[in-house]
Structure 1
Amino acid sequence: MNRFSYARPGSVADAIREVGSSPAAKILAGGTNLVDLMKYNVERPTHLVDVSRLPGLKEITETEGGGLRIGALVTNTAAAYDPRVQERYPLLSSTILAGATAQLRNAATTGGNLMQRTRCYYFYDASTPCNKRVPGSGCPALHGVNRIHAILGTSDKCIATHPSDMAVAMAALEAVVRVSGPRGERGIPIAEFHRLPGDTPERDTNLGADEVITAVDLPEPRFTTHYTYLKLRDRLSYAFALVSVAAALEMDGGTVGEARIALGGVAHKPWRVPEAEAMLKGKVPDRAAFERVAERILQGAKGHGENDFKVELARRAIVRALSQAAAGTPQSQTDKRIQ
């Protein structure tokens, strides 16, 4: 681990100044990802900005229209078990509980969860090339060990996936990430927050280098009955998703009024295809309709050898998740066996 300076600002304004003071500054909150990366010599910050005690960022507050604002320092546990989140956004609560372990959820924060980095084996191994760590050095995963890697939105520079569960539900719910920087405050729709790798895989998000996440806004409550988060992984205990699906439906009698579907474990960001969701509007929620939607969502999906199975796994997962959502029988995150 390299030497670094340390600051614990007392306000968001101070935090913005500190993080903007050095191009190699990093924000430290729960530390559940950054500290590991520092130990592996993957991240080498010269200045750590500890925001864990900033006032006003650990609360969940009401917004207009019955929505909620989740502070950036709200722990995953606090968000998942907040009665308002459980009642108004059960999809989000369920999704958070599908991720990590209870101990990690107690430390991990809302903002940090969104900012966590890929779990690609090559990214974590500082002795190997990796375009995310060293742009232009290459992507060994393209023709190497890539069982956990992306099948959608890839480039010849990177096929890594984003590991967050929480972000998948937030994508389905169309949350907005609130950030502050030297130029003031702004909101970034969750669909625009994370990036596809393209030619700049080292950039995971559209957050400015001198900006700080302050909160996540959830819109007015919807999808409180017909929803599910289905997470498929190599083992039922602590593991990242091979494929996950957040599915939410609003029913209009016997047909679908609106649908939201977001995938995790398949791309560099949570994957949504609004055109596919629109295909369900006014349709009877049956297997045939779900299979057509799955085909549209996975249009262009491609494996890279060891992860070829993910294309079919994702197709089946979408169908199963939509079936669970339509029936109003969400996947249990306690008994994790697939229903």
Structure 2
Amino acid sequence: MSQLTVNGNELRLERFPPQPEDPLQAWDAADELLLHAHQLPDGPVLVLNDHFGALACGLSDRPLVWVNDSYVAHQALEQNLELNELEPALTPLSALGTEATAVVGVMIKLPRSLRLLTTQLDWLNANLPAGTPVVIGARQKDMPSTLPDLTRQLLDEVSPSRAVKKARLVYGQLSGRQSGVPERLDWHCEPIDATVRNYPNVYGAKALDIGARLLLQHLPSSDGEIVDLGCGNGVLSMALLQANPDAHILAVDESWDAVRSTEENLASVADQSRFEVVWNDCLSGMDGGQADWVVCNPPFHQQQAVTDHIAWQMFRDAKRILKMGGRLRIVGNRHLGYHIKLTRLFGGCTTIASNAKFVVLEAQKR
């Protein structure tokens, strides 16, 4: 747990899910600078991409519309508001909508994807009055070299702040201009001979990643329940539906853009009775003992932090949701040592395939 001081008030903040003796804190220098130097007028504020609710907690004295596509971020928001006994006038959303139009200013934590930022600024320019103040915050090392051009293209009166604790703000005003970049990116996936639709914040939005390409060559055959855990754009689920005409797919991701991408992609290859897509933190709250297979391409980042706790949670949840005798098949970078985790959890694992960088592993619930 870490503490952040805002206007003389000490905020107690935790990352989500809480980890014992976690060295990582739930806010960074950019959050602190946004809260102390945002220069937004009094009144309701739209907050975008607040990872763990630090901005919401620090702005709890005013009405907020809070938008994040991450299910985990919504859980963190709820956790940290409760931890600090805060009950702001707050509207949490998974995506921008009409609720976000009655605001006096916009605060944006710079997302990892500039494509997401572009889509957000396009929406703001289309739905809020020109001249509405905007402030974007990030650590300097997270600011790509193309950010100045993008902000000058879509904002007026752009002005960067001085760097404080290696973080910086970019001030501007909505211009009413549009980028011309489509919200959805579609491309043809050759291994499954299908078009894959990708909304801005989905992982692997521009091309098939190397790990998924390897796993596509070694997907299981089954006529039962198959869970695609951390489904991204749903490319693995699409392949599973094509190869297993009697199977049912449960696709799960914590990104709302991933969920809506997957829903559209699966509907393009199969009847909707054959699949379900769920927005969730791994398999939290789902009944155990229901799946014949779980397939997974686990991430090893949470926002900008490298961490293995997401993979651990995925593997534990997979074991719980599998039937006795059910199997988990994953792909991962060789250096991550997932075989050690799977052996510890399942009592053993088998190497199904490998190349110079990735390995496909399988473990069975006994």
Higher strand proportion: 2
Shorter-chain TM range is under 0.3
Q: Which has the higher contact order (CA 8 A, sep 6+)?
A: 1
Output the TM-score relative to the length of structure 1. 0.24
Which structure would you say has the larger Rg? 2
